[in-house]
């Protein structure tokens, strides 16, 4: 349904150092770096990554708003370079910006305007707007000017607009960022509903809990690269780091603590018998236990855990604990 091959986008960015009185030097920034990806129909694909990782640029390339420097991509089977009109007709996009509507028009008038542009007949459009606005609890605010909408209402309106044509593919860029929990729940319900109806979604989000709950697969982007991609279980298994809780019968010696550090980052204090170790390689657990035994210290309890998505995210984006 969505496929990319070595997709790359380089932007020329002005540097502070001036070349002359008027012109600044330009430098190349790789916003999207050689991304190859395949998303099957009916999948919710979460795209996570730090600010500036290239998530929005990737979505804009796939929605034909940005032309890539190299590589190819297909959305709903259409080539983004050669069949841009067909790609646009196949997608619904919620850009996540606050400025993509006409401020002086009401919510209803805005949806009506964009609906007509999508070629939806008047009678059908009226029904759709009504049903969709009601489904996200926005109908009572339909006659309010867009500029008077709250942030949550703006996000809901953005979502309703991209649902108007009921396309097979959706790009949702941070649909729940900065909005209240009630509105966020409504939007997540809508996403689940789309998933149940077999739609393909790319969900760009900073909310990792949301990504865990909603996405079938997750892609982690950093500095333009897709550094890791797969289901949540796959990501957890692929990430060798494991969190190990050890409770010792007595306080560990300084020497033992130093040796623990060779296995990964440790969290404890000298006065604590409970030690949390981020084992950089889960398979070394047996070696760790042998080490404790060799020190003639009994282990009262042991508990191992896989990393959370947040920890996996931090690991792959250069801010890992281990």
The least distance separating other proteins from the CB of residue 189, rounded to whole angstroms, comes to 24
The least distance separating other proteins from the CB of residue 85, rounded to whole angstroms, comes to 7
Helix pair 122-135, 151-163: axis angle to 10 deg: 140
Q: Does position 168 bind other proteins by CB under 8 A?
A: no
**Which range, of 38-46, 116-124, 173-181, 229-237, touches other proteins by CB under 8 A?**
116-124
Backbone torsions φ then ψ of 253, nearest 5 degrees = -80, 165
**x/- letters, 287..316, toward other proteins (CB under 8 A):** ------------------------------
Q: With 0-12 CB in 10 A as exposed, 13-18 as middle and 19+ as buried, what is 122?
A: exposed
Q: Which of 74, 101, 108, 260 binds other proteins (CB under 8 A)?
A: 101
Task: Give the Å distances, CA to CA, from 153 to 108, 176, 202.
Answer: 12, 11, 21
Q: Which of 76, 105, 144, 320 binds other proteins (CB under 8 A)?
A: 105
Instruction: Please give the residues from 1 up to 30 whose contact with other proteins meets the rule CB under 8 A.
Output: 9, 11-12
**Which range, of 85-93, 184-192, 209-217, 298-306, touches other proteins by CB under 8 A?**
85-93
Q: How many residues bind other proteins (CB under 8 A)?
A: 38
Q: Which of 34, 36, 50, 66 binds other proteins (CB under 8 A)?
A: 66
The least distance separating other proteins from the CB of residue 209, rounded to whole angstroms, comes to 29
Sign of CA dihedral 249, 254, 278, 263: negative
**Which range, of 84-92, 129-137, 280-288, 298-306, touches other proteins by CB under 8 A?**
84-92
Instruction: Please give the residues from 44 up to 63 whose contact with other proteins meets the rule CB under 8 A.
Output: 57, 60, 63
- Within 10 angstroms of residue 64's Cβ, the number of other Cβ atoms is 19
Q: Which of 24, 26, 38, 116 binds other proteins (CB under 8 A)?
A: 116
Instruction: Please give the residues from 124 up to 163 whose contact with other proteins meets the rule CB under 8 A.
Output: 145, 161
Q: Does position 117 bind other proteins by CB under 8 A?
A: yes
Q: Does position 102 bind other proteins by CB under 8 A?
A: yes
- Distance, in Å, from the CA atom of 234 to the CA atom of 216, rounded to the nearest integer, reads 11
Q: What angle is formed at CA 126 by the lines to CA 123 and CA 131, rounded to 5 degrees?
A: 125
93 vs 211, which CB is nearer to other proteins? 93
- Distance, in Å, from the CA atom of 292 to the CA atom of 166, rounded to the nearest integer, reads 60
Q: Which of 2, 7, 31, 59 binds other proteins (CB under 8 A)?
A: 31
**Which range, of 95-103, 175-183, 185-193, 236-244, touches other proteins by CB under 8 A?**
95-103
The least distance separating other proteins from the CB of residue 113, rounded to whole angstroms, comes to 5
CA 1 to chain centre: 19
Q: With 0-12 CB in 10 A as exposed, 13-18 as middle and 19+ as buried, what is 273?
A: middle
Q: Which of 6, 27, 122, 178 binds other proteins (CB under 8 A)?
A: 122
Q: Which residues bind other proteins (CB under 8 A)?
A: 9, 11-12, 31, 57, 60, 63-67, 85, 88-89, 91, 93, 95, 97-105, 109, 112-114, 116-119, 122, 145, 161, 165
């Amino acid at each position: 349904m969505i496929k990319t091959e070595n997709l790359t986008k380089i932007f020329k960015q002005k540097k502070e150092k001036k070349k002359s009185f008027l012109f600044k030097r330009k430098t190349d920034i790789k916003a999207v770096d050689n991304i190859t990806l395949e998303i099957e129909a009916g999948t919710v694909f979460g795209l996570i990554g730090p600010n500036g990782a290239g998530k929005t640029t990737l979505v804009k390339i796939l929605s034909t708003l940005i032309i890539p420097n190299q590589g190819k991509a297909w959305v709903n089977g259409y080539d983004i370079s050669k069949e841009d009109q067909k790609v646009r007709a196949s997608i619904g996009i919620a850009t996540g910006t606050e400025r993509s509507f006409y401020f002086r028009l009401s919510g209803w008038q805005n949806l009506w305007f964009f609906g007509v542009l999508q070629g939806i007949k008047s009678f059908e459009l009226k029904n759709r707007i009504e049903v969709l606005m009601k489904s996200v609890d926005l109908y009572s605010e339909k006659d309010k000017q867009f500029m008077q909408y709250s942030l949550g209402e703006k996000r809901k309106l953005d979502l309703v607009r991209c649902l108007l044509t009921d396309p097979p593919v959706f790009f949702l860029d941070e649909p729940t960022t900065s909005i209240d929990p009630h509105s966020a729940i409504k939007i997540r319900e809508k996403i689940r509903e789309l998933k149940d109806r077999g739609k393909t979604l790319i969900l760009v989000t900073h909310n990792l809990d949301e990504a865990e709950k909603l996405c079938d697969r997750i892609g982690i982007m950093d500095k333009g690269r897709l550094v890791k991609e797969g289901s949540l279980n796959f990501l957890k298994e692929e990430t060798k780091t494991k969190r190990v809780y050890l409770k010792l019968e007595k306080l560990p010696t300084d020497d033992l603590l130093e040796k623990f550090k060779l296995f990964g980052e440790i969290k404890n204090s000298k006065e604590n018998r409970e030690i949390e170790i981020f084992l950089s390689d889960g398979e070394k657990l047996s070696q760790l236990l042998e080490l404790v035994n060799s020190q003639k210290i009994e282990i009262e309890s042991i508990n191992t855990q896989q990393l959370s998505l947040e920890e996996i995210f931090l690991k792959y984006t250069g801010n890992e604990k281990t």
